Amino acid sequence: MTVWWFISNYITNKRIDMIRKIGMILVITFALVFGYWYSFLALDEISMEQAEIIKQYQYNSEQAVELILTEIEPHLFTFTYKSFDQSIVNGQISYPKNQADKYPVLIGISAMGRGYQRWWSESFKGRPTVTQVNKITELADKNGYVVISIDARYHGKRKNPDRTLRSIMNDLHFFGDKTDYEAMIKNTVIDHRVLLDWVSQQNNLDKSNISVVGYSMGGQIGLILASLDQRISKIISIVPPYLDDKTALVAPKNFISLLKNQDVLLLTADDDENASKSENDFIFKHISTPKKERIVFSGGHILPDNYVDSLSNILAN
């Protein structure tokens, strides 16, 4: 019995030693892989001068913009137009039932992965509109607004099967390749500026009353757009993600000092996984306009259903 105990104990100790060695090898391998990733693949912060950033958003604003409209039902149309680089932009526009000589305009910008349809539907393809932006359209329509929304690049009808949104974000987060992500945001901002060119050409739209409302990525795009384009009179940015100078070209913090005259409403959450309290504090502090307000909600990135009620005053026509 003593011999068998000795043999069994010896084998057990050998197994423990083997497990320890394997564990050490795995730890060292992980450390080496992480070190390689951090040293060569992780994004570095690269600060850019504001003037240099703004230059990247220049485009030919003199080209004529034509929306090709298709009526879905009375007062509701889908449309396409050619953007600054001749790419086709898809979107939708609705007119209020009550007629007016000039209509105020609300441009809705969707969260990442969401198409323009969300602004008119409580669900799309069986998935609920958890951002509640369809209720913003209902509020705007009641107040006499024309509501317009387009698909961002790589979203909705502008998806590219050879370059999916997931692959773009994987390249950004895992391989430090920000090229397509920054291009997606930047070009979507310019797509909206081209849309504003069309709005400015319409005699029945009130060019002095143009609001932009964006949720999450839409809030990010909205802040950049309103900072660059003074034709926007009101900006409502809902839980925009905070970006540092790893993606300086599309980080709202590098633009918001240009918000000098517009009305700004910033909606944030106290436990948002995409922007901490201090980061949201920073954004609000550095918005230059004195006509700014911030509302903080309890919870995470998806705000409570009734948050839309807080927009009533700023969207009162």
Which residue segment(s) compose the domain that 202 sits in?
A: 50-311
Asked if 168 and 248 sit in the same domain, the reply is yes
CATH code (residue 251): 3.40.50.1820
Asked if 125 and 33 sit in the same domain, the reply is no
Interval 164-171 mean pLDDT: 96
**In the predicted model, what is the mean pLDDT of the chain?**
91
DSSP category for residue 39: I
Q: Where in the chain does DSSP place strands (E)? A: 68-73, 76-82, 88-94, 103-109, 123-124, 127-128, 146-150, 205-215, 234-238, 263-269, 292-297
Asked whether residue 316 is assigned to any structural domain, the reply reads no
Asked whether residue 100 is assigned to any structural domain, the reply reads yes
- The pLDDT value given to residue 36: 46
- Given a cut of 70, whether residue 9 has pLDDT beyond it is no
> What is the rounded radius of gyration, in angstroms, for the C-alpha atoms of the chain?
25
Asked if 237 and 98 sit in the same domain, the reply is yes
Domains contained in the chain, number: 2
pLDDT in tens, 64-109: 899 999 999 999 999 999 999 999 999 999 999 999 999 999 999 9
Strands 205-215 and 234-238: parallel
pLDDT in tens, 28-76: 655 444 454 444 445 677 878 999 999 999 998 878 899 999 999 999 9
Asked whether residue 1 is assigned to any structural domain, the reply reads yes
- Given a cut of 50, whether residue 275 has pLDDT beyond it is yes
Asked if 37 and 160 sit in the same domain, the reply is no
Interval 255-262 mean pLDDT: 95
Cβ atoms 258, 249 nearer than 8 A: no
Asked whether residue 142 is assigned to any structural domain, the reply reads yes
Asked if 104 and 35 sit in the same domain, the reply is no
φ/ψ bin of 144: left (φ > 0), alpha (ψ from -120 to 50), beta (otherwise): left
Asked whether residue 255 is assigned to any structural domain, the reply reads yes
Cβ atoms 123, 232 nearer than 8 A: no
